[in-house]
Structure 1
Amino acid sequence: MDFPALCQHIDRAWQDDILPALRDYIAIPCQSPAFDPDWADNGHMERAVELMTQWARQQLAELAGATVEVLRLPRRTPLLFIDVPGEAGPPSLIYGHLDKQPPMPGWVPGRAAWTPVLEGERLYGRGGADDGYAIFAAIAALRALRAQGLAHPRCLIVIEASEESGSVDLPAYIELLAPRLGEPRLIVALDAGCGNYDQLWTTTSLRGQVAGTLSVRVLDEGVHSGDASGIVPSSFRIARHLLSRLEDPISGEVIADFQVEIPAARREQAWLAANALGEGLLHAFPFHADTRPVEEALGELALNRAWRAQLAITGIDGLPAVADAAAVMQPHTALKLSLRLPPTLDPQAASQRLKALLEADPPYRSQVGFTIDSISQGWHAPPVAPWLADSLQRASHDAFGRDGALIGGGGGIPFLAMLGERFPRAQFVVTGVLGPQSNAHGPNEFLHLPTARRITAALARLLHDARGDADPR
């Protein structure tokens, strides 16, 4: 492999072919079904599918036998399935998604979720990094290998459209595709993060999640706060009290019911990653003024994010905006809860425990309910085969000039647990471009273009080494 020539090929592809298409994709508000229930009628998802399908067909036109299909099941989001022939042996499966999170307020003037903006080497806009780039990078990697006459296994590219809704539609498609997927040797997900932009980061675990709505009602309608306070209990105070059953209101530590024993190897790994990142672990977040993290020990922060249950309040109903607030006691409060779970904890059991915990013995006999909105399984990577460990280090050195690194992820990719159960002998590479300040799901999300190009080159190396009869060592 002439790696410098491969990188040049990939750089040209990004500049000439990928960036224009990625800009067009960012401009499409193809929100996931959880945020756009009328997605089928609105047509944005269809526009994104059409854009990617046409681009893929054009790029793969010269690769004999390559096919690009759009699969559609009733009442489900579509799925893009690409099959690129390769050497005989087990295939490699590459995963990405095209659905997006909502736009969110807070974008810097001149930037917006559906307006692609290139500032230096950062491409701003929703979905470019999470995870629209995946299909473009996968095809560019394959074309770069073919340009040098280099072999690769049969490669299957799956681009789903319900990931941001918990991949609710994906299991049905995996079942449909099962005879064609075979037994992959390597599964690559390009939807993860990176600790920095200086080396290849591989994710070794992802947390599960229970998301739902906690609702507390004390009145049938709002009343004068001067008359009611001291007689009518505050629905917000009751909600706050109920949350204290789950987490310590001072430390934020979640009760033991939702924790697991952290494997020793993952503890060591977390500290190694934290020490490698140093203060960069904190600089990844836009802390305001003198705000400090919840712990001072960097290794404990890495473990908090990867292996410990944590609660976030992601939405609230029942309270007016401050500018519109009158002297009225509100009749109800509703909080959207996101409880991140350790990778190996059973999310179904955790969801039922959470519901029982919050609904038991309602204070003041108020009306309390917890509605479970979504449940996702965590993921813990299997041991890495020697051939893949060698390939990952070579890919990091070739593409980044440094050793690769391992890290536990705080988010989730439901697809991984699903395929881990179906293909227990497969090797996994979970990586991505979501590095410091890239702010997936929030305002000012950006794709770091140098990292995207290097990830593409690293992927080419991995796919070349993944041939069933190859000995990359």
Structure 2
Amino acid sequence: MDERLVRETVRNLWAREALAGLSEFVAIPALSPAFDADWARTGHLHAAVEHVRAYLAERPIAGATAEVVELPGRTPVLLLDVPAREATTTETVVVYGHLDKQPAAGTWSPGLGPWTPVVKDEKLYGRGAGDDGYAGYAAATALEALHAAGGRHARTVVLLETGEESGSPDLAAYLEHLAGRLGRVGLVVCLDTSGADYERLWLATSLRGIAFLDLTVRVLTSGVHSGHGSGLVPSSFRVLRELLDRIEDPRTGRMKLPELEVEVPADRLAEIRVAAEEGFLTPQLPLADGVRYVSDDPVELVLNNTWRTTLSITGADGLPPILDAGNVLRPYTSLKLSFRLPPTVDAGSALQAIEKALTTDVPFGAQVELARAEAADGWNATPRAPWLESTLDEVSAEVFGKPWRALGLGGTIPFLGLFGRAYPDAQFVVTGPRGPGNNAHVPDEWLHLEQTERVTEAVARILHAHATA
């Protein structure tokens, strides 16, 4: 393979066809179903799928077919199926991305808008540019560059779903539906994550799971004067505090239920320590004046954010606004509980343990109501094969000029858990060009174009190396 030609082809395609196609994609308000319940009628998701399908169908990639698959009542999936080229492996490569988008989410800067693509300072601004519209264009560009430069690759299927921003509720059905067609998947490349800078290749190696539910504690059928009732009946908030203290130590934030804790794998701990030594683990958050982080040790902070359960109260009901609050012993308090779970915790078992702790031997016989309880597993990457480790080293040195780094992510991306269960023996490359300040999900979202070119080139070379691994 002519590596110089791979780089030139990637750069030329991104400068012309790919950037133009992605810019047109930005203009389509293809909101995820969670934000557009009437998506089938409004047609924006279908318009986005058809736009990208037409682009992929026109690419000069020998033998490639671009097809829309749509199961009844589910959001569509777009597939680009490219036959193997001079590969010795019979494995299939799946390259993942998504085409649904978050809403505009507030006011954008002057001259920018969610559905108005703008190229400025080597960045493409617009909703879906970085999350995650670039993925299909990057995958096709990588394959086209391989063909132009005499490279090889295993059979490669680019799978672009349209429900990721809603939690990928339809993806499991599609993976089952396509199982026979995809065959034995040996490599999964997920183009939907971010790194800690724009100078090197970043791999995500773990994601936390999640469990959440609405908790209501009720002590009265209606509110009463606090002077008449307090001291006779416990406040609903007092009962809530005691219930939550069964789960979380309020001083340390550590969990008390064994179902919520795991031992951190040695390889993940080593990755965290390497990144800490290089100064990548100090988070930048908008702290209020005088507020400190929970630890001065950056390794401990990252472990808290990636491999330990945390509880956040993300909503409340039964509490009037302060200006409207009278001297009333309120009848109930409701809280939205959100638990971020370690990557290898069984989310279903964790949720059951939480529910049991909240409903067993409730103080003073208060009524406890649980609603909208859901859980999703996290994901931990399989150990890297020697061929992938050496390829990452080589690609990082020659494409980025700096060593690649791995990190865990504190959020939850359900599709990775689905892929992990569907292909437990596959190698995973979870990467992307996003980084600090890219504004995914908020106003002024942008895509770093130079980093996108580098990541695309890296994907091409990884596909080439896998073909004979």
TM-score by length of 2: 0.88
> How many Å apart are 1:304 and its aligned residue?
1.6
Partner of 1:183: 184
For 2:436 and 2:399, how far apart are their aligned partners in 1? 19
Q: Verify the 8 A CA contact 2:5 2:148 in the aligned structure 1.
A: no
For 2:160 and 2:75, how far apart are their aligned partners in 1? 11
Q: Measured at CA, do residues 125 and 357 of structure 1 come closer, stay the same or move farther in structure 2, by a change above 3 Å? A: farther
Letter paired with 1:99: D
Q: Measured at CA, do residues 156 and 294 of structure 1 come closer, stay the same or move farther in structure 2, by a change above 3 Å? A: same
Alignment of 1:221-300 (within 5 A): 235=236, 238-257=239-258, 258-276=260-278, 278=279, 280-300=280-300
Q: Measured at CA, do residues 68 and 222 of structure 1 come closer, stay the same or move farther in structure 2, by a change above 3 Å? A: farther
Q: Verify the 8 A CA contact 2:74 2:170 in the aligned structure 1.
A: yes
For 2:276 and 2:75, how far apart are their aligned partners in 1? 39
Which range is displaced more, 161-170 or 175-184?
161-170
Q: Verify the 8 A CA contact 2:215 2:368 in the aligned structure 1.
A: yes
Partner of 1:193: 194
Q: Verify the 8 A CA contact 1:275 1:298 in the aligned structure 2.
A: no
Which range is displaced more, 24-33 or 387-396?
24-33
> How many Å apart are 1:299 and its aligned residue?
1.1
For 1:262 and 1:94, how far apart are their aligned partners in 2? 28
Q: Does 2:376 correspond to 1:380?
A: no
Letter paired with 1:184: V
For 2:319 and 2:35, how far apart are their aligned partners in 1? 21
Secondary structure of the residue aligned to 2:355 is helix
> How many Å apart are 1:303 and its aligned residue?
1.5
Q: Does 2:134 correspond to 1:133?
A: yes
Q: Verify the 8 A CA contact 2:215 2:335 in the aligned structure 1.
A: yes
- 1:116-151 CA distance string (max 9 Å, x none): 454423434443322222111111111111222322
Letter paired with 1:178: A
Partner of 1:81: 79
Partner of 2:67: 69
Partner of 2:428: 428
Q: Verify the 8 A CA contact 1:225 1:327 in the aligned structure 2.
A: no
For 1:252 and 1:229, how far apart are their aligned partners in 2? 30
Q: Measured at CA, do residues 114 and 304 of structure 1 come closer, stay the same or move farther in structure 2, by a change above 3 Å? A: farther
> How many Å apart are 1:347 and its aligned residue?
0.8
For 1:375 and 1:428, how far apart are their aligned partners in 2? 23
For 1:357 and 1:178, how far apart are their aligned partners in 2? 39
For 2:359 and 2:36, how far apart are their aligned partners in 1? 29
Q: Verify the 8 A CA contact 1:226 1:327 in the aligned structure 2.
A: no
For 1:267 and 1:8, how far apart are their aligned partners in 2? 38
> How many Å apart are 1:110 and its aligned residue?
5.9
- 1:37-64 CA distance string (max 9 Å, x none): 3332333322222222222222x2x323
For 2:35 and 2:76, how far apart are their aligned partners in 1? 16
Gaps of 5+ in 2: none
- 1:62-102 CA distance string (max 9 Å, x none): 32321111111112111111101222532211011222344
For 1:397 and 1:131, how far apart are their aligned partners in 2? 26
> How many Å apart are 1:247 and its aligned residue?
2.2
Q: Measured at CA, do residues 44 and 215 of structure 1 come closer, stay the same or move farther in structure 2, by a change above 3 Å? A: farther
Q: Measured at CA, do residues 215 and 105 of structure 1 come closer, stay the same or move farther in structure 2, by a change above 3 Å? A: farther
Secondary structure of the residue aligned to 2:71 is coil
Alignment of 1:211-226 (within 5 A): 211-217=212-218
Q: Does 2:22 correspond to 1:22?
A: yes
Letter paired with 1:200: L
> How many Å apart are 1:36 and its aligned residue?
3.4
For 1:111 and 1:202, how far apart are their aligned partners in 2? 30
Q: Measured at CA, do residues 242 and 453 of structure 1 come closer, stay the same or move farther in structure 2, by a change above 3 Å? A: farther
For 2:229 and 2:292, how far apart are their aligned partners in 1? 38
Partner of 1:38: 38
For 1:357 and 1:47, how far apart are their aligned partners in 2? 47
- 1:395-442 CA distance string (max 9 Å, x none): 212221111112222223333333333333321111123322334344
Letter paired with 1:143: E
- 1:310-360 CA distance string (max 9 Å, x none): 1233344455667xx423567654433321111111111111112222333
Secondary structure of the residue aligned to 2:51 is helix
For 1:183 and 1:334, how far apart are their aligned partners in 2? 47
Letter paired with 2:44: H
- 1:197-225 CA distance string (max 9 Å, x none): 22111222221111332334556677888
Q: What is the alpha-carbon root mean square deviation over aligned residues? A: 3.0
Letter paired with 1:85: P
Q: Verify the 8 A CA contact 2:211 2:347 in the aligned structure 1.
A: yes
For 2:296 and 2:267, how far apart are their aligned partners in 1? 22
Partner of 1:149: 150
Secondary structure of the residue aligned to 1:314 is strand
Partner of 2:459: 459
Q: Measured at CA, do residues 397 and 30 of structure 1 come closer, stay the same or move farther in structure 2, by a change above 3 Å? A: same
For 2:172 and 2:272, how far apart are their aligned partners in 1? 31
Letter paired with 1:271: R
For 2:182 and 2:134, how far apart are their aligned partners in 1? 23
Q: Measured at CA, do residues 14 and 317 of structure 1 come closer, stay the same or move farther in structure 2, by a change above 3 Å? A: farther
Alignment of 1:266-345 (within 5 A): 266-276=268-278, 278=279, 280-319=280-319, 325-328=323-326, 332-345=332-345
Q: Verify the 8 A CA contact 1:190 1:432 in the aligned structure 2.
A: yes
Identity of aligned residues (%): 47
Q: Verify the 8 A CA contact 1:285 1:436 in the aligned structure 2.
A: no
Q: Verify the 8 A CA contact 1:3 1:398 in the aligned structure 2.
A: no
Q: Measured at CA, do residues 429 and 226 of structure 1 come closer, stay the same or move farther in structure 2, by a change above 3 Å? A: same
Secondary structure of the residue aligned to 1:418 is helix
For 2:50 and 2:225, how far apart are their aligned partners in 1? 54
Q: Verify the 8 A CA contact 1:215 1:370 in the aligned structure 2.
A: yes
Q: Verify the 8 A CA contact 1:271 1:302 in the aligned structure 2.
A: no
For 1:113 and 1:365, how far apart are their aligned partners in 2? 51
Q: Measured at CA, do residues 390 and 260 of structure 1 come closer, stay the same or move farther in structure 2, by a change above 3 Å? A: same
- 1:441-461 CA distance string (max 9 Å, x none): 445443222222211111011
Alignment of 1:340-359 (within 5 A): 340-359=340-359
TM-score by length of 1: 0.87
Partner of 2:395: 395
Partner of 1:413: 413
Q: Verify the 8 A CA contact 1:210 1:372 in the aligned structure 2.
A: no
